[in-house]
Structure 1
Amino acid sequence: MKITGPARSPGQRKRDVLSRLERETDIWVATADGTGLPCLVPLWFVWHGEAVWLSTRITSPTGRNLRDGGRARLAFGDTRDVVLLDGDVTVFSSAGVPGPAAEALRAKTGWDPRGDSPSYAWFRIRPRAVEAWHEEHELRGRHLMRDGVWAV
């Protein structure tokens, strides 16, 4: 593929990231266990309250890794429009998840894990770092957030 367009400004990249967080339904969730064994799965999510919210079984490798490791890397599926989010994880039970976050996921996906198996837990991932780029010409300036603060 040939690069034909100019690089986006940092402000435009941030707007594009926030737009994807609102409109996308699936996000790749990368975690690792205590021995470093990686796990990568796509999950439904919602962007709510400046955080990514998702739910999976606490007994799954991803659920255990999110709970035990406290960190995750998130990404969207398009390799020509890269968005990477590194974040800190907080775990909630179905009974303890804030209602507005659970309702936001239900409204977006039609699924409410609170009414599913009791093994489902909720995970809030607050971004600490965000990178976004299209192709090589946008590698410079790809860091939009560092240490939980937007750079733009």
Structure 2
Amino acid sequence: MTEQTIQAIPPQPRPHEERLKDTLARFENDVDVWVATADADGVPCMVPLSFLWDEGTFLVSTQRTNPTARNLIANGRVRLAFGVTRDVVLVEGTATTLEVADLAPAVREAFAAHTGFDPGDCAPPYPYFRIAPVWIQAWREVNEIADRQLMTAGHWLP
């Protein structure tokens, strides 16, 4: 077998439990995520933002006047994309807007420590957005696509 042939054979699909463990590790350890939103006319916007995985939700922040913030404030719908195309996690969720004063000091400190950025120190302070996942999918290769669903309707699948 040549090296090229070996690379063309995908690894065995991960069992559900391993895929869930890998996904949660990514949420705990990754710092940045692609955030996709759309305005009322359907104009898409996708940007990378730093995040904190906090008690089963994602916490992000961006300047209030940015399209992403305006879209999240207007409709709360969001998609997140983690990883590369051969190791992807997709999340669809709903966002709630929070001001700096709405966050417990420990959460604000955890966000700043994890991301290296404190939105409350900006002038004016950036709002935070708490994203509650509604569905989550994860897969690496085509052989994992059939079983990619980890969460539906806000509930983890067994």
TM-score range, shorter chain: over 0.9
Root-mean-square deviation (CA), in Å? 1.2
Q: Structure 1 pair 67/46, CA: closer, same or farther in 2 (3 Å)? A: same
| Structure 1 stretches lacking a partner, 5+ long | none
Report whether the alignment pairs 1:44 with 2:50: yes
Look up the match of 2:68: 62
TM-score by length of 1: 0.95
TM-score (norm 2): 0.92
Structure possessing the higher radius of gyration over alpha carbons: 2
Within 5 A, what are the aligned runs for 1:95-134? 95-134=101-140
Q: Distance in 1 between matches of 2:11 and 2:136?
A: 22
Q: How many residues align?
A: 152
Give the match's secondary structure for 2:85. Answer: coil
Percent identity, please: 45
Q: Distance in 2 between matches of 1:4 and 1:52?
A: 31
With 101-110 and 121-130 compared, the bigger mean Cα shift is at 101-110
How far the C-alpha of 1:119 sits from its partner, in A, is: 4.8
Does the 8 Å CA contact 2:10/2:141 hold for their aligned counterparts? no
Partner SS state of residue 29, structure 1: strand
Q: Could you tell me whether the CA contact under 8 Å between 1:28 and 1:77 is conserved in 2?
A: no
Unaligned 5+ segments in structure 2 are: 1-6
Match of 2:4 in 1: none
